[in-house]
Amino acid sequence: EPSRKFNWNDYLSCASAIAASIEPFKSIKGQCPFPLAKNPFKVGWFLEAIDPFHQSLVCLVSVAQILGYRLRLHIEGYPDCYDFWVNADSPFIFPCGFCESTGRLLSPPKGYDPVEFNWKIYTGGNCKKVAPKHCFAFSDDMNKTEFRIGDKVEAVDRKHVELICAATITDIIDDYLLVHFDGWGNEYDYWVKHTSAYIRPIGWCENNGKDISPPLDYNSPRPFLWEEYLKYCGARATPESSFKPTTPNFQNNTKLEVVDKRNSMLIRVATIIDISELQIKVHFDGWRDEFDDLFDMDSPDLHPINWCTKTNHPLQAPPN
Ligand code: MLZ
C-alpha cells in the first residue's frame, strides 16, 4: 500500500521541497479544497453525467468503482474504455431525471432512440438503483451568472490553447457555461466556470493584439468584424462587466497530488514545473521527464498534498 508508506512531511523535509499553497485550489474547488463529507455513492447506482468526450451531451451512467472521494463512471451501453473518473462533488453529475426535468435530451445507452428512451423503465428493470438526490453537489439548475444562452464570447480552445475563437454560450447550469465554437463540431465544446480566464468578452483579442479564430461557417470579411457577425446572427455579446476572469495563483516548484491521465485511477506525487497563463506543467516525482503533463488551471484532477489521505484514496509514491 503506497499510501500508508508515503509521508508528505518526511518527503518534503528530505527533499527540502515545499507544498503547493491551498489558495489556488480554493479558487478551483471552492472554499474548502478538502471534501467534508464521505463519498456518498455506491457501486451500481445510476446517474446522469456530462459526457467528458462530448461535453454538450448528458448521458446515462452507472457507478463502476469507488476509490476514496472519486467515482469511475460507466457510460451505459458503451464499452468500458469510455469509463471516466470524477470527484464525488463534481458539478457535472446529476440525479436521474435531471434532463427530463430541465428540458434537456438525455443521451441514451447505445441502440436506444433519444426521444423514445425512458430512463425509469431502463433503470427500474435492473437490480441497480438510482443515486439519491442528496448525493449531488449541484443544488439546482438556476443560472447564477450574468451570461445568457446564445451570448457570443471569445473563448480559448481547450484542445489548442494557443487559439482564441469566436464562440457561443449554448447552455448554462448553476455557475457553469457550455462553450461552443461557431461553425465547429461539438467535439470542441466544453464546460467552464463563468469566472474562468478561458472566456473573454468580444473585442478582447483585438484589444490585446491577438488574432481571433473566426467562425468556421461564416464568410467573413477580412479582418473578422464582430459587429457585423453579431448582426448577422442576431446575437448579443455578453457585456464586459459580466466577466470576472480569475487565475489560480499556482507557484513553480511546489508539490501536489495529481491524477495520472494515462491511468486515471492513479493519483501521484507531483511537482509544478511550469506555469503559463492557462495551464500548469507537472512533473511526476521519480518518473522520466517524458511523462511530464499539462493540465488546465481549472482541472479537477489537481489536488493539494494530503488530499488522498484525507479522502481515503491511495497515493502512488515516487518509485525509488
Ligand atoms: N488544426 C485544427 C484546429 C482546430 C481548431 C478548432 N477550434 C475550435 C483543425 O483544423 O482541425
**Nearest residue to 312 via CA among 31, 5, 39:** 39
Say if residue 182 is in the same domain as residue 238.
yes
Torsion 12-16-20-22 (CA) sign: positive
Q: What is the CATH number of the domain that holds 178?
A: 2.30.30.140
Residue 4 pLDDT = 54
Ligand 1 center from residue 43 Cα (angstroms): 38
Say if residue 261 is in the same domain as residue 295.
yes
- For residue 226, the one-letter residue type is W
Residue that terminates a domain, selected from 196, 223, 242 = 242
Helices (H), the chain: 2-5, 8-14, 23-29, 98-102, 119-124, 204-207, 226-233, 307-311
Closest CA to ligand 1's atom 8: 181
pLDDT tens string 199-225: 999 999 999 999 999 999 888 777 899
Say if residue 128 is in the same domain as residue 75.
yes
The answer as to whether 293 is a domain residue is yes
Q: Is 190 in the pocket of ligand 1 (CB under 6 A)?
A: no
Class of residue 206 by CB neighbours under 10 A (exposed 0-12, middle 13-18, buried 19+): middle
Q: Is 133 in the pocket of ligand 1 (CB under 6 A)?
A: no
Nearest ligand 1 atom to alpha carbon 160: 5
The answer as to whether 73 is a domain residue is yes
Nearest ligand 1 atom to alpha carbon 181: 8
The answer as to whether 103 is a domain residue is yes
Residue that terminates a domain, selected from 108, 135, 162 = 135
Say if residue 233 is in the same domain as residue 158.
yes
DSSP string, 225-265: -HHHHHHHHT-PBPPGGG---B-----TTEEEEEE-TTSTT
- Report ipTM (2 d.p.): 0.91
Say if residue 161 is in the same domain as residue 228.
yes
Say if residue 236 is in the same domain as residue 267.
no
Ligand 1 center from residue 88 Cα (angstroms): 32
Residue 139 pLDDT = 64
Say if residue 61 is in the same domain as residue 86.
yes
Q: How many domains does the chain have?
A: 3
Q: Is 165 in the pocket of ligand 1 (CB under 6 A)?
A: yes
Closest CA to ligand 1's atom 5: 160
Whole-angstrom Cα distance, residue 137 to residue 133? 9
Say if residue 126 is in the same domain as residue 167.
no
Say if residue 126 is in the same domain as residue 192.
no
Say if residue 275 is in the same domain as residue 297.
yes
The answer as to whether 35 is a domain residue is no
The answer as to whether 140 is a domain residue is no
Domain region containing 223: 152-242
Ligand 1 center from residue 55 Cα (angstroms): 17
Residue 219 pLDDT = 82
Question: C-alpha cell of 90?
Answer: 463534481
Residue that terminates a domain, selected from 242, 270, 293 = 242
The answer as to whether 26 is a domain residue is no
Residue 302 pLDDT = 97
Per-residue pLDDT of the chain (320 residues; tens, 9 = 90+): 444 579 999 999 999 999 999 999 998 877 688 998 999 999 999 999 999 999 999 999 999 999 999 999 999 999 999 999 999 999 999 999 999 999 999 999 999 999 999 999 999 876 679 999 999 986 677 888 999 999 999 999 999 999 999 999 999 999 999 999 999 999 999 999 999 999 999 999 999 999 999 999 888 777 899 999 999 999 999 999 999 999 999 999 999 999 999 999 999 999 999 999 999 999 999 999 999 999 999 999 999 999 999 999 999 999 97
The answer as to whether 237 is a domain residue is yes
Residue 126 pLDDT = 66
Nearest ligand 1 atom to alpha carbon 167: 8
Say if residue 226 is in the same domain as residue 253.
no
Say if residue 80 is in the same domain as residue 130.
yes
DSSP reduced 3-state for 142: coil
The answer as to whether 143 is a domain residue is no
